[in-house]
Amino acid sequence: MTVEPAVSETTTSPRVESEVGRLRTVLLHRPGNELKRLTPRNNDQLLFDSIPWVDRAQEEHDAFAEVLRGRGVEVLLLADALRTALTDRRAHTAGVHAAVDDRRLGADLADVLRSHLSGIDAAGLAEVLMSGLTFEELPGSEGGSLVRKMNHPHDFAVDPLPNLLFTRDSSAWIADRVAISSLAMPARRRETALLDLVYAYHPRFRQAARAYGAHSAPIEGGDVMLLAPGVLAIGVGERTTAAGAESLARSVFADDIAHTVLAVPIEQERATMHLDTVCTMVDSDAVVMYPLARDSLVAYTLRTDDNGSVRVDGPAPFLTAAAAAMGIDRLRVIDTGLDPVTAEREQWDDGNNTLALAPGVVVGYERNVETNARLIEEGIEVLAIAGSELGSGRGGPRCMSCPILREPV
Ligand SMILES: NC(=[NH2+])NCCC[C@H](N)C(=O)O
């Protein structure tokens, strides 16, 4: 027998069709102990540019969440969601499996860790999955383990995941489906295992359909932009590959949740690791964009033809291709009119990485004074948040948020 969902369930079930529809529910991650693992020796590898002051990062993040709540957004926190998911026995078993790397630990130590983790509660396991475990913290004595003896006590038996903060990248909702990413950088790869558990076992997401498997070519949510219902732009660069973009395109076409995908090549550099580092939408027909990208970005357009096979056209200038796909005359670029040096500084500090709460209302870092001033002049409401510590991982409000429900525009 099929049971009709209650009305409240339907109206809160996940669906995101644009970048700017009124935000109703979002997934954030309040930075936790995983940030305390960062040292000057490992920060590069863990994709942080400096060592954040953790208490202050948490304060900044709490303030960010409060701004969202103040605008009527329901904020879900990843750690809470993970703990809830892990109370399911099957999720717990899968969580233990995801934490233990036999290749790193060897069979003996892997068994020790597995049996230790199997015995701890959901909260304890969630903590290990997020902030990792050092050899020193492994239970039991050094005894006969060569692996234990030859690793430094502060080396990681389970790696920490400081980039969980950037919930944008590890999963993305496209219409009513969730795409679990396939993260490119080794430091982030295990994040998807956590999201996988949340979406599979958290009661709220039990009905969620998947758009893309986690074991395919690299694709990260920071590269996925919902320009309009049925129209996606996908950045192809340091993180998302052409193969990743093509395979997500095929998947959204097959599921009939998009009719056009624009693949947008971006520079393979740290400063432009994702499409959303150079461009985000601030209104249903407007973007804020790094001036250098404005005239140089191009797009390949992917569509299905009548027989269902995929056609690729282009490249053509991004703004033209985007407007055509969106069915509008022109995509407005809010000209930040900045001198090249200020533009470069503010791009680095995520000035172009805004999170829209509604058409014409965005959250941005307060430090990007010039960019924000231009947005305000153009009639955009900018809710400015502090991000001196949050930004040390190179990510702004869009990177730090995974919209789960937006109202239609
Ligand atoms: N959507 C984004 N721009 N995310 C920023 C991610 C930053 C993170 N440190 C990384 O290198 O992966």
Strands 260-265 and 231-236: parallel
Mean pLDDT score across all residues of the chain: 93
Q: Which of 43, 354, 394 has most ligand 1 atoms within 8 Å of its beta carbon, as the pocket-test mutant?
A: 394
pLDDT score, position 271: 79
Say whether pLDDT at 107 is over 70.
Answer: yes
Percentage with pLDDT > 70 across the chain: 95
Residue 49 CA to ligand 1 centre (angstroms): 11
pLDDT score, position 4: 45
- Does any ligand 1 atom lie closer than 6 A to the CB of residue 290? no
Protein residue closest via CA to atom 4 of ligand 1: 399
Q: Domain 82-154 belongs to what architecture? A: Orthogonal Bundle (1.10)
pTM, entire model: 0.95
Protein residue closest via CA to atom 10 of ligand 1: 47
Tokens of 219: 């694709």
Residue 45 CA to ligand 1 centre (angstroms): 13
Give residue 142's pLDDT band: very low, low, confident or very high (50, 70, 90). low
Instruction: Read off the amino acid at residue 146.
Output: L
Predicted ipTM? 0.98
Residue 277 CA to ligand 1 centre (angstroms): 9
Residue 46 CA to ligand 1 centre (angstroms): 11
- Does any ligand 1 atom lie closer than 6 A to the CB of residue 395? yes
Say whether pLDDT at 385 is over 50.
Answer: yes
User: What are the boundaries of each domain within the chain?
Assistant: 17-76+162-406, 82-154
Report how far apart, in Å, the C-alpha atoms of 102 and of each of 108, 114, 136, 320, 405 are: 9, 10, 18, 50, 38
For the CA of 393, the nearest atom of ligand 1? 9
Kindly write down the DSSP assignment for every residue of 219-258, as one continuous string.
B-GGGEEEEETTEEEEEESSSS-HHHHHHHHHHHHHTTS-
> In terms of Cα–Cα distance, which of 271, 384, 289, 389 is closest to 334?
289
Say whether pLDDT at 394 is over 80.
Answer: yes
CA–centroid distance for 387 within its chain: 17
Alpha carbon distance 365, 346 (integer Å): 10
pLDDT score, position 7: 42
> In terms of Cα–Cα distance, which of 255, 263, 260 is closest to 177?
255
Q: What is the maximum alpha-carbon separation in the chain?
A: 71
Condensed to tens digits (0 to 9), the pLDDT of residues 225-269 reads: 999 999 999 999 999 999 999 999 999 999 999 999 999 999 888
The CATH superfamily assigned to 17-76+162-406 is L-arginine/glycine Amidinotransferase; Chain A (3.75.10.10)
Protein residue closest via CA to atom 5 of ligand 1: 395
Condensed to tens digits (0 to 9), the pLDDT of residues 349-358 reads: 888 999 999 9
Which residue do the tokens 């590959």 mark? 241
Q: Is 52 left (phi over 0), alpha (psi -120 to 50) or beta?
A: beta
The conformation of residue 266, written as its DSSP 8-state character, comes to: -
- Bridge partners, residue 342, by sequence: none
pLDDT score, position 215: 55
Say whether pLDDT at 141 is over 90.
Answer: no
Residue 317 CA to ligand 1 centre (angstroms): 26
pLDDT score, position 292: 84
CB 85 within 8 A of CB 408: no
Protein residue closest via CA to atom 1 of ligand 1: 222
> In terms of Cα–Cα distance, which of 165, 169, 172, 236 is closest to 199?
172
Rg (CA), the chain: 21
Tokens of 276: 């959303």
Q: Is residue 279 annotated as a catalytic residue, yes or no? A: no
> In terms of Cα–Cα distance, which of 252, 327, 314 is closest to 284?
327
Q: Which of 35, 38, 161, 166 has most ligand 1 atoms within 8 Å of its beta carbon, as the pocket-test mutant?
A: 166
For the CA of 169, the nearest atom of ligand 1? 1
Protein residue closest via CA to atom 6 of ligand 1: 395
Give residue 140's pLDDT band: very low, low, confident or very high (50, 70, 90). confident
- Does any ligand 1 atom lie closer than 6 A to the CB of residue 401? no
Residues in the chain: 409
3-state secondary structure at position 376: helix
Residue 70 CA to ligand 1 centre (angstroms): 26
Give residue 348's pLDDT band: very low, low, confident or very high (50, 70, 90). confident
For the CA of 162, the nearest atom of ligand 1? 9
Percentage with pLDDT > 90 across the chain: 83
Alpha carbon distance 316, 320 (integer Å): 7
For the CA of 394, the nearest atom of ligand 1? 7
For the CA of 239, the nearest atom of ligand 1? 12
CB 194 within 8 A of CB 78: yes
- Tell me which H or E stretch contains 372: helix 369-377
Residue 273 CA to ligand 1 centre (angstroms): 7
Strands 133-134 and 156-158: antiparallel
- Does any ligand 1 atom lie closer than 6 A to the CB of residue 274? yes
Q: Given 399, 400, 402, 404, which residue is catalytic?
A: 399
- Does any ligand 1 atom lie closer than 6 A to the CB of residue 393? yes
